[in-house]
Amino acid sequence: MLDLNDVAVFVQVVRCGSFAEASRRLGVPPNTLSRRVQQLEAQLGTRLLQRSTRSLSLTSAGQAFHARCASAVDGLLDAGQALASAEQEPSGLVRVAAPADFFDFFPMEWLAQFLAAHPRVRVDFVLSDARADLIADRIDVAIRGGVLKDSGFFARKVLDPGIDGLVASPHYIAARGVPDTLQALGGHDCLVFGHPGERATWHLSGPGGAPAEVQVSGRFSGNTAQALRKAALAGLGIALLPSTMTRRELRAGLLVPVLAQYHRAGHGVHVVYPSRRHLPLAVSAFIDLVVARLGTVEELLPAVPG
């Protein structure tokens, strides 16, 4: 008879992608997990995983076995967790990856209130505009703006995509004039992701949804949308920014629309995490905090370049 503990270990190792990550999440030494999987393979009389020093992969037999047993193991774990969670409170470390200027949009007071409500929870923020590797970097939750790539992880939408529009400051428009065509942007200072002096291509939708593009350049560039927004407010050029990032300044007259008939589809903001099953209570509580709080703000998080 198969040892169900060995089957559960196998499922968790596959889900985590490595014995090391499974060890971190389960709190069991990697060599113990490896031995349990080897015992399971011996009982089944077939190899389930191909191992190397850097990665592991399922054999064809392993794929078939995982497909049959993963949901059953999840059901058993869920049943046990439902009983155990009734008398538990959120506790432990939550490791969060977020854009470098995350706390420009997420007031520290919100985090302070969260920690006061959950005194046994600790949080560790990894702030960078580079896209974190959730498994390799041991990330529990990632806050991501921009295109959500199909990574096999799970995600909850925080903000709707909206649209990106062209804006500039009244000071810039007074000094340089209003471009009357899309191609006229080539003669203006435009604020782009990249390096100064390099040209960028803006892919837009024009009147009636017709696709359009234009080559632009300028003397200022940056690697976050927030930096480009501040540059636009300072009169350094025309920027293509999420409408939810600029609506306050547009209402206040600090920015004005440019070629309003052209826009680009936005990408919204998501919270991303490795699995929606067996989330520690602390991680689940933090995700709920981000969804509830960021859903009320008017400004969109900057997209991660690339």
What domains can be seen in the chain, in order of their start residue? 4-85 (1.10.10.10), 92-161+268-294 (3.40.190.10), 163-265 (3.40.190.290)
141-145 and 92-98 as β-strands: parallel, antiparallel, unpaired?
parallel
Residue 168 has pLDDT above 80, yes or no: yes
Q: What is the DSSP letter of 95?
A: E
Residue 221 has pLDDT above 60, yes or no: yes
Residue 34 has pLDDT above 70, yes or no: yes
Q: Would you state the pLDDT for residue 296?
A: 67
Exposed / middle / buried, residue 254 (Cβ in 10 Å: 0-12, 13-18, 19+): middle
Q: Would you state the pLDDT for residue 301?
A: 45
At 246, the pLDDT band (50, 70, 90 cuts) reads: confident
Average pLDDT estimate for 257-274? 86
Please give the Cα distance from 258 to 169 (Å, whole number).
Answer: 10
113-136: per-residue pLDDT in tens?
999 999 999 999 999 877 888 878
pTM here is 0.56
Residue 284 has pLDDT above 70, yes or no: yes
Amino acid letter for position 160:
D
Q: Would you state the pLDDT for residue 65?
A: 87
Averaged pLDDT of the chain: 84
Name residues whose C-beta falls within 8 Å of residue 261's C-beta, 6 or more positions apart in sequence: 206, 207
Share of the chain above pLDDT 90, in %: 36
- DSSP assignment of 12-56 equals HHHHHSSHHHHHHHHT--HHHHHHHHHHHHHHHTS--EEE-SS-E
Residue 276 has pLDDT above 60, yes or no: yes
Residue 278 has pLDDT above 70, yes or no: no
Residue 306 has pLDDT above 70, yes or no: no
Q: Would you state the pLDDT for residue 224?
A: 78
Q: Would you state the pLDDT for residue 253?
A: 95
What are the tokens at 43? 């009982």
